[in-house]
Amino acid sequence: MTPMQASQDALKICQLAPIVPVLVVDDAKDAGPLAKALVAGGLPALEVTLRTPAALEAIAEMAKVQGGVVGAGTLLTPQDVVNAKEAGATFGVSPGATDMLLDACEDADLPLLPGAATASEAMRLLERGYSVLKFFPAEASGGAPALKGIGAPIPQIRFCPTGGVSMKNANDYLSLPNVVCAGGSWVAPKNLVTAGDWGGIEALAREAAALPR
C-alpha cells in the first residue's frame, strides 16, 4: 500500500463521523456491546488502543459488529502492526511516526493515521505521501490555535486531533478547515463501561455524532 492510498483510505474512515471514539478496553467481554452502542449512536469508526492485554481480543470482537470499522491505536512497532492486522483491525493510528512503523503498515496494507505535533513532523510525513494525520497530543501541543497555525502554510494536510479533546472543545477543532474529525474517549467513559450502561454510551455517541463540521 502506498502512503497516498493509505491517506485516501484513512480520509474515508475519518469522514464517517465527526468523532472517532478512542477506546481503552480492559475486558474483552465488553467489546461487542460497547461497539454496538457506539455504532448505534452514529460513531462507526472505532479506535481500540493497544494499551491493555485485552486490546487485541477486543478488536477481534468489535470486528464482528455490523456497521463498525475497527482500528488499532497506539501502534508503536512492526509487531504491533502484524498483531493488529491479524486481530481484524482495518486501520491503524500511531502517536507519532517512524520509518520502521510506516514501512510495516505499508507492507501490511494497513491504512495508517500517523501522529504529528509540529509543522516539521507534518511536512516530513507529507513528503513521504501522507496527507491525513493525527494531531497528538492536541491540547498539550497548543490546541485548536496551534492546529490552525499549522494549517495556514500547509493547507493540503487534513488532521484528526486527539488528546484532551472533549465535548466542550470539540467544536473548536471541528470548525477548522484542516480538521476532518476528532478523536475522543469521553463517549465511552470507564464508569459506564464497567456498569454495562450501553444505553448511556449510545446517548453520548449520538450527541457526539451530531456535532457540526
Q: Using alpha carbons, list the distances in angstroms from residue 35 to 30, 85, 86, 108, 188.
A: 9, 18, 19, 25, 10
Q: Is residue 157 part of a domain?
A: yes
**pLDDT (tens digit, 9 = 90+) per residue, 157-183?**
999 999 999 999 999 999 999 999 999
How confident is residue 17, by pLDDT bands cut at 50, 70 and 90?
very high
What is the C-alpha separation between 196 and 206, in angstroms, rounded? 17
Residue 19 CB partners (closer than 8 Å, separation 6+) = 43, 170, 181, 182, 183, 184, 187, 208, 209, 211
Cell of 118: 509540529
The CATH number given to whatever domain includes residue 85 is 3.20.20.70
| pTM of this structure | 0.95
Indicate whether 78 belongs to any domain.
yes
pLDDT at 213 exceeding the cut of 90 = no
**Residue 18 located in a structural domain:** yes
Provide the domain count of the chain.
1
Active-site positions read 47, 134
pLDDT at 108 over 90: yes
Domain containing 131 equals 3-207
Residues 6+ apart with CB under 8 A from 12: none
Q: Is residue 111 part of a domain?
A: yes
In a domain, 212, yes or no: no
Dihedral over alpha carbons 185, 112, 69, 21 (to 10 degrees):
10
In a domain, 92, yes or no: yes
A 10 A CB-CB count for 119 gives: 16
Residue 55 lies in a domain: yes
Whether 99 has a pLDDT exceeding 90, the answer reads yes
In a domain? residue 120: yes
Q: What is the pLDDT of residue 63?
A: 97
